[in-house]
Structure 1
């Protein structure tokens, strides 16, 4: 059971370290911690107490260890189903009303506390009254599993994460429910010894899915934090470069003007031509760095209440010259308003639509619609273009990554800028694409906006 103890407490610690502010992460950590407490009780019973009884018998020490063991055992038996029930409510909160979210956690505490107070005390042979505890603990686990399994996800990245969360979490918790509560109710005790075999499969699978696909959204969180830090570094770097180059180019132009005047006074035609070449090059360098800086600088939000349909019309109108062979479909709820920065969001929509138009050089369909996801409003921009390979899709939002290498005016900052704008609004940008099946871009805005 030592392996179970370390594995579960390692997972509990890792979840808290990665995202301590997430309610879902805290309850998932509580599930792992309470499960590990049961393993600690088993280790104390099977290894620690016998060791001290053989090496240095001490009734006081044995009594203390027995009390610690009983606390850990009860924490596991009563705490694990409650923690899992709270995890399921935090993970799938779409159906809950505000009043229910306030009172349901307190109501769910009643059976564990009543069992702890009213049922017979802990003994090593019979730690709890399994028949009574199973009447509420196993339903907590079953209903919680259903809540997690049937959570609806609309965004592609979250659908995949949800699938692997279910595969990593639900089979072991259901096994725990059967082995720890149901089977002992029928007289089959100490089946928790088989948890080692369950975790021997679950822990490697958990680690694999955590790093490969994500768990409870953690991988997405890590990727976004990494991209945020990259954008901050680029913003700072381009600001310094812009300032330094502007100063040095200014000095160059000053001296070039003097040289040009001297060449004109002395009739050196060839030197004048050379000076003009250098001046044009310096002007081009300054223009290039200025445009990069404009696309990466931190622009403050100037938010207002915006009619989304009207904003889309204003974005589409200037693009009509490119839409001659493309059908545009807009499907929005009536009177959809969001509080946002209309200039920056309009620029974001323009960038995304231009990418879609360029992907449909032979014509196609561009569909824009809005829907609700949890408490958020999502704008989906879908095209029927060529789509993207997975390798391209993974890098699409990274600064300076571009597939338009032949275009000297493209710096690969369009989608990075769009991501930054959505981040400033407290939302997100996600892309789903397959070669030959087109691309979908999801802009998620917090519902309160």
Structure 2
């Protein structure tokens, strides 16, 4: 019976975790939650190999090599399911509390990996529970502290507090039984068979987690830097409108100066720019809904990317930044409005990063399968931690490096995802930043 429960755990939790990773790869909270589910699913695989597969192949008289390989695999899985939950749960609550630090995440992994050194997985599967508990208990206590701290920060709403408490119990109760299982035998003798309770509790926790997932509780309890979809959509729209309105004002002032100085031949060009900007603003109004959706709705049309780049560059002629253009006419099927926003956000961020005189180099690279556009600035650059958080909504490095990517780069990534493209950022402090947009497919033959 106990083996059946563990096998059920494997066949239910493993695909569920893979689904969450595929569907919510940008949501760090759900990603770490999916890793916890995956590890729980591996416990079912480990029990199945140890209790069913290994005895079966041994009874069939399989060779020593096959038995040894399968024994080592089973032992490695045993180490994973006994050690990784403490680490994954702690990192989950670190992200839950809004303290995601790459360095901390890596350092916390070191004791977990050392479990493979201090246990025997080669001759006899022997678990060094004393070593695992030496850091596992502090990890669990740290997770509880972060959980309680988050609980105290929640507003005085009974529903939210109840949901948050339920989320903690979903995670901590199976972890507590894992801890008791490791303590049993060495530190105390339990009259209850704890092993059979673990898969049952995990399955109940999964059911409760799915209920919370259905009510978007995980999204609602993202770190304070990540707002709800409605807030995100409103802020993104405000960001886009402010840019468009500022451009219209600039064009209007330029037309006024041209009229005052009787430079009538320039008025027509400035007026055309104003009309184009107005059309762009109206396009954004018509696409209010896409900012609150998970995926953008794009209207693809053959577009000369070089012309779009020139139009966006013209918006920054009043800045002290110079542009080096290394691109030619390339026609791609894109949403012109979204692509204009994409280029405008990247260049605007670069201008802000330079903060004075400097240069932005735009290079276009054409290959058989892709068209790449590289935006390189001579600004202040960013460190690895800033780059890792760059595409988080409302994450800003402005106070650190002058690179205000709070909304811009998040929107750039959404636009490139909608075009089945990719965006890559490379940077070093003091050496500028390069943003690369990569479009799949070949350029269109004609407009």
Pairwise same-fold verdict (TM > 0.5): no
Instruction: Tell me the TM-score normalised to structure 1 length.
Output: 0.44
Decide which structure has the larger Cα Rg and report it.
1
Instruction: Tell me the TM-score normalised to structure 2 length.
Output: 0.45
